[in-house]
Chain A
Amino acid sequence: MSESAGLLPEADLFSSDHFALFGLPRRFEIDERALESRYHELQSAAHPDRHAHRAEQERRLSMQWATRINEGYRLLRAPLSRARYLLELEGIDVGAENNTAMPADFLMQQMEWREALDEARDARDVDALDALARNLRQARRDAEALLARQLDVEHDNAAAAATVRRMMFIAKLGEDIAEAHETLEN
């Protein structure tokens, strides 16, 4: 196969978006195994360990490339950051939007989870923390399924942005649960 067939023009390579760098279609649902194996292939070419015996400027370039590939992999691997990135490519900054109004039922749910977390922490109840973490995982999976429909099928960016904001709440709560676990262990 000829080397230039179907490839990005060189000048665009470094500035191309992460989906193009990883050779994936620009959508929410992705082939995770393809992402991982492409990540390994790209790092096998770019990583500083592959260029350690080369000249200084080659090592510097290698670090810049490897940094970029790591950043792309980080953004594409996690569903939440992938969705945010997709919306960003569409010109929508989820975090900067002033409208953070949530549906009333989700706010209620939030409050219940927060209370459950506080109670489990005060009672030093690890099982309750684990149960809460399981509930949260399910909520996250549901939100991801919803995002797949909103982003890939209905192309409803406004609705997707609202779902992303909900996922951000869930993610923050997940971090707080992990922190509570740590406090109980020490």
Chain B
Amino acid sequence: MALLQIAEPGESTAPHQHRLAVGIDLGTTNSLVATVRNSVPVVLNDDKGRALLPSVVRYFADGRTVVGHAAQAAQAQDPRNTIASVKRFMGRGLADVAHVESMPYVFEDAPGMVRLRTAQGAKSPVEVSADILRTLRERAEASLGGPLTGAVITVPAYFDDAQRQATKDAARVAGLEVLRLLNEPTAAAIAYGLDNASEGIYAVYDLGGGTFDISILKLSRGVFEVLATSGDAALGGDDFDHRVYCWLIEASRIGPPGLEDMRTLYMEARRAKEVLSAQDAVHIGLKLSGGEEIDVTLTRDAFADMTKKLVEKTLAPTRKALRDAGLSPEEVKGVVMVGGATRMPHVQRAVGEFFGQEPLTNLDPDKVVAIGAAIQANVLAGNRSADEDWLLLDVIPLSLGLETMGGLVEKIIPRNSTIPTARAQEFTTFKDGQTAMAIHVVQGERERVSDCRSLARFELRGIPPMVAGAARIRVSFQVDADGLLSVSAREMGTGIEARIEVKPSYGLGDDEVTRMLREGFEHAQEDMSARALAEQRVEAQRLGEATRAALAADGDLLDPAERAAIDAVLVDLAKAAAGEDTPAIKKAIDVLGRSTDEFAARRMNRSIQRALAGRSVESL
């Protein structure tokens, strides 16, 4: 594969500088952690050799928390305190969650995000996810032999801002430095594309446990460019289980089951679904707690029939993504299947018929996302080698806008905009002498605010009194490379500045994250201060190395006095890092940042200049 070559002098990384970075697939049903070892991406197994960690967490009244297989096995026994498929609740209020009636949990509606009442008190989905992530972090650190520099965490491409922010918060609570939030289908495309040296238009059809994504990508000369993405953030394998569960109750003519029986029936439904991917029929026979006997047989055809609507539901977003990309199904060169639910034969058949070709199933649909995330993490941590010179250009899945008069939405950034991106729009006052303006940020495609997801509300105050329509309020949206939004507003017309900047957040403040972080360490019986010291040392070393590499490459951009100043700061940083004083290291890091501001700006300009110059040389 002809990869784009960008020389970065002084950036080659010797093996001893290899930084420990992982990719984590935080799935609805199962989670995985992978890394790149000796240039080969590998999934890290637990001490029993298992790659998949069931995304199930059990909370005991005595404060113990169990994650994974043991928790999964206890689902029927202790359904209220054993949380499965928590990803469905991330960044969601109670009203947004489907099938609440057939879930064994006790929900508490809280501002922004639902809580689950357990033997250890109310748990936010962020905390439950953090317990899963912490287990994976510990697995990785035990396996790799040291603290991690950072992690790439994957999210469904169709996750909105609230769901992404919740995922990032969970990683912070788990003590992980998030290098990037990466869209799951894009991660799969990286793993697939680099492995197969693919060029052309590819579709990634990703049906997971609880989410569906479809992404259309253009692969050319080492660039992975997402053209469009669509999906359904509440559609996945769980819904197929739910259909079978409902059928079991109907076919067996039993009344509404109790909590334990409900869990047992769900687990049987899932088992039946999985068996039907390999066999034409499955027998389900069991005795419920009240003595009722279930003795039925489900055929593959009957299963396909009862879940036909669910499969069809994936094709509408698929058409939409193609339309947004301006493409027809025939223009797609390959369709990569991702997610355990794509093992179902009738799903593969429907996708094959839609695109008029056999879908690609040669990569393990359970592991491909974690593998792609690990490859990306390795590059982002700075372990890039010459043959990994590829570039990823991703998009936001849903439009971002503001509420205007009459409850209507003014779109500021349309869906499928390549990130990072920024847009601004000017608004004006409605009444004479109006000195404040309410700003309501929403995400979604519908015209009415009530049909979109509310992300944040804030007020811009201190607008000088003017007649209606005279003020000019400029509202700016910035979406970063993680797909996360920040919003600022200012009055432009007068010299007086009223300015506010918000990051939408969903009930989790920084202090709350810190509290959860502390609790997490108490449970894991780790020493938080020792960890903080280790982390600051890793960070100091990382930045020291990066700065020295930058000086070696572009030192000529500095005059001798500027150079001497930076050298002195580097010496101070090394001294601080050798000591035990965590705040002192942090301070030295901050000083280094400020001292190299101007140098960084000059380097960035030079780097852009070089990109421009490269072309001129070629065209001569």
Enumerate chain B residues within 8 angstroms of A37, measured Cβ to Cβ. 615
Nearest Cβ on chain A to B179's Cβ, whole angstroms: 6
Are the CB atoms of A61 and B600 closer together than 8 Å?
yes
B608 touches A70 (CB 8 A): no
Contact B600 A13 (CB under 8 A): no
A-B contacts, 19 listed (Cβ < 8 Å):
A8-B609, A23-B615, A40-B223, A41-B612, A43-B393, A44-B391, A46-B608, A47-B481, A49-B379, A49-B481, A52-B381, A54-B546, A55-B593, A57-B597, A70-B417, A70-B421, A182-B320, A185-B319, A186-B316
A44 touches B609 (CB 8 A): no
Contact yes or no, A63 B420, CB < 8 A: yes
Question: B480 within 8 Å of A by Cβ?
Answer: yes
Residues in chain B near residue A56, CB distance under 8 A: 593
In the complex with contacts A7-B609, A181-B323, A55-B380 CB distance below 8 A: no
Query: A174 to B446, alpha carbons, bound, how many Å?
Result: 17
State whether B600 touches A53 (Cβ < 8 A).
Answer: no
How far apart sit A63 and B485, CA to CA, in the bound complex (Å)? 13
Q: Is A178 an interface residue (CB 8 A)?
A: yes
Using CB atoms, name the residue of chain A closest to B316: A185
Does A45 interact with chain B (Cβ within 8 Å)?
Answer: yes
How many angstroms between the C-alpha atoms of A66 and B592 in the bound complex? 24
Which residue from chain B places its CB closest to the CB of A56 in the assembled complex? Answer: B593
B448 CB to closest chain A CB (Å) equals 14
Are A71 and B421 neighbours in the complex by a CB distance under 8 Å?
yes
Instruction: Please judge, given known A-B contacts A67-B422, A70-B418, whether A3 and B611 are in contact too, CB under 8 Å.
Output: no
Whether a CB of chain A sits under 8 angstroms from the CB of B478 is: yes
Other contacts beyond A55-B596, A185-B320: 17, CB < 8 A: A7-B613, A13-B608, A23-B612, A37-B615, A40-B4, A41-B611, A42-B608, A44-B6, A46-B608, A47-B393, A53-B149, A53-B380, A53-B542, A55-B593, A57-B594, A63-B478, A67-B478
B561 beta carbon closer than 8 Å to chain A: no
Do A38 and B615 contact each other (CB < 8 Å), given the known contacts A13-B605, A43-B393, A44-B6?
Answer: yes
Q: Give Cα distance in the complex from A57 to B220, angstroms.
A: 31
Q: Which of A45, A74, A182 meets B607, CB within 8 Å?
A: A45
The answer for the CA separation of A6 and B612 in the assembled complex, in Å, is 10
Q: Do residues A178 and B600 form an inter-chain contact, with CB atoms below 8 A?
A: no
Residue from A48, A50, A52 in contact with B420 in the complex, judged by beta carbons closer than 8 Å: A48
Residues of B contacting A40 in the complex (Cβ-Cβ under 8 angstroms): 4, 220-221, 223, 391
- Per-position binary interface string of chain B over residues 375-396, scored 1 when its CB falls under 8 Å from any chain A CB and 0 otherwise: 0100111100000010111000
Q: Number of B interface residues at 8 Å Cβ cutoff, please give it.
A: 59
Distance A56 CA – B42 CA, assembled complex (angstroms): 30
Contact of A57 among B149, B179, B593 (CB under 8 A): B593
Task: Convert A148-179 into 0s and 1s, putting 1 for each residue whose CB lies closer than 8 angstroms to a CB of B.
Answer: 00000000000000000000000000000010
B474 close to chain A: CB less than 8 A: no
Closest CB-CB distance, B435 to chain A, in whole Å? 28
**Alpha-carbon distance A49/B388, docked complex (angstroms):** 13
Q: Given A40-B391, A43-B391, A181-B323, does the pair A48, B604 have CB atoms closer than 8 Å?
A: no
Task: Name the interface residues of A5-33: CB closer than 8 Å to any CB of B.
Answer: 5-8, 10, 13-14, 23
B331 to chain A, nearest CB (A): 15
Give the A interface residue count (CB, 8 A): 46
Contacts of B320 in A (CB 8 A): 182, 185
Q: Tell whether, in the assembled complex, residue A10 and residue B391 are in contact, meaning their CB atoms are under 8 Å apart.
A: no
Q: How far is the CB of A127 from chain B (nearest CB, A)?
A: 15
Residue pair B617, A1 in contact (C-beta under 8 Å)? yes
Q: Which of A52-90 contact B (CB under 8 A)?
A: 52-58, 61-63, 65-67, 70-71, 73-74
**Nearest CB on B from A11, distance (A):** 9
Known: A44-B4, A58-B600. A49 touches B380 (CB 8 A): yes
Cα distance A56–B389 in the bound complex, in angstroms: 23
In the bound assembly, the distance between CA atoms of A5 and B610 in angstroms comes to 11
A62 and B382 in contact (CB under 8 A), knowing A1-B617, A7-B609, A41-B4? no
What separation, in Å, do the CA atoms of A61 and B319 have in the docked complex?
37
B300 interface residue (CB < 8 Å to A): no
Chain A residues positioned under 8 Å from B380 (CB to CB): 49, 52-53
Within 8 A of A (CB), among B580-620: 592-594, 596-597, 600-617
Listed in ascending order, the chain A residues whose CB lies under 8 Å from chain B are: 1, 3-8, 10, 13-14, 23, 37-38, 40-50, 52-58, 61-63, 65-67, 70-71, 73-74, 178, 181-182, 185-186
In contact, B615 and A41 (Cβ under 8 angstroms):
yes
**B429 to A: closest C-beta gap in Å:** 20
Does B543 belong to the interface (CB within 8 Å)?
A: yes
Once the chains bind, are B604 and A49 in contact (CB under 8 Å)?
no
Complex: A10 Cα to B604 Cα, angstroms: 10
Interface residue? B547 (CB, 8 A)? yes
Q: Is A58 touching B604 in the complex (CB atoms < 8 A)? A: yes
Is B418 within 8 A of A74, CB to CB?
yes
The verdict on B180 contacting chain A, using a C-beta distance below 8 Å, is: yes
Distance (whole angstroms) from the CB of B283 to the closest CB of chain A? 37
Q: Across the interface, do B616 and A6 meet the contact criterion of CB distance under 8 Å?
A: yes
* Measured CA separation A67–B550 after assembly (Å): 23
Query: Is the CB–CB distance between B608 and A65 below 8 Å?
Result: yes
Contacts of A49 in B (CB 8 A): 180, 376, 379-380, 391-392, 481
- How far apart are the CA atoms of A181 and B320 in the complex, in Å? 9
List, in ascending order, chain B residues with CB within 8 A of A3's CB.
Answer: 606, 609-610, 613
Q: 1/0 per residue B440-458: CB within 8 Å of A?
A: 0000000000000000000
Closest chain B CB from A33 CB (angstroms): 10
Q: Assess whether A52 is in contact with B4, with CB atoms less than 8 Å apart.
A: no
Please indicate the chain A residues that have their CB under 8 angstroms from the CB of B4 in the complex.
Answer: 40-41, 44
Note all chain B residues with C-beta closer than 8 A to A38: 615
Closest-CB distance, A75 to chain B (whole angstroms):
12
Complex contact A41–B614 (CB within 8 A): yes
Cβ–Cβ < 8 Å partners of B594 in chain A: 57
B192-234 residues at the A interface, CB under 8 angstroms: 220-221, 223
Q: Are B481 and A63 in contact (CB under 8 A)?
A: yes
B391 x A74 contact (CB < 8 A): no
Closest approach, in angstroms, between the C-beta of B280 and any C-beta of chain A? 32
Given A3-B609, A42-B608, A66 and B542 contact (CB-CB distance below 8 Å): no
B278 to chain A minimum Cβ distance, whole angstroms, is: 33
Contact of A10 with B605 at beta-carbon distance under 8 Å, contacts A52-B380, A53-B546 already known: yes
Q: Which residues of A contact B543 (CB under 8 A)?
A: 55
Cα of A162 to Cα of B542 in the assembled complex, Å: 56
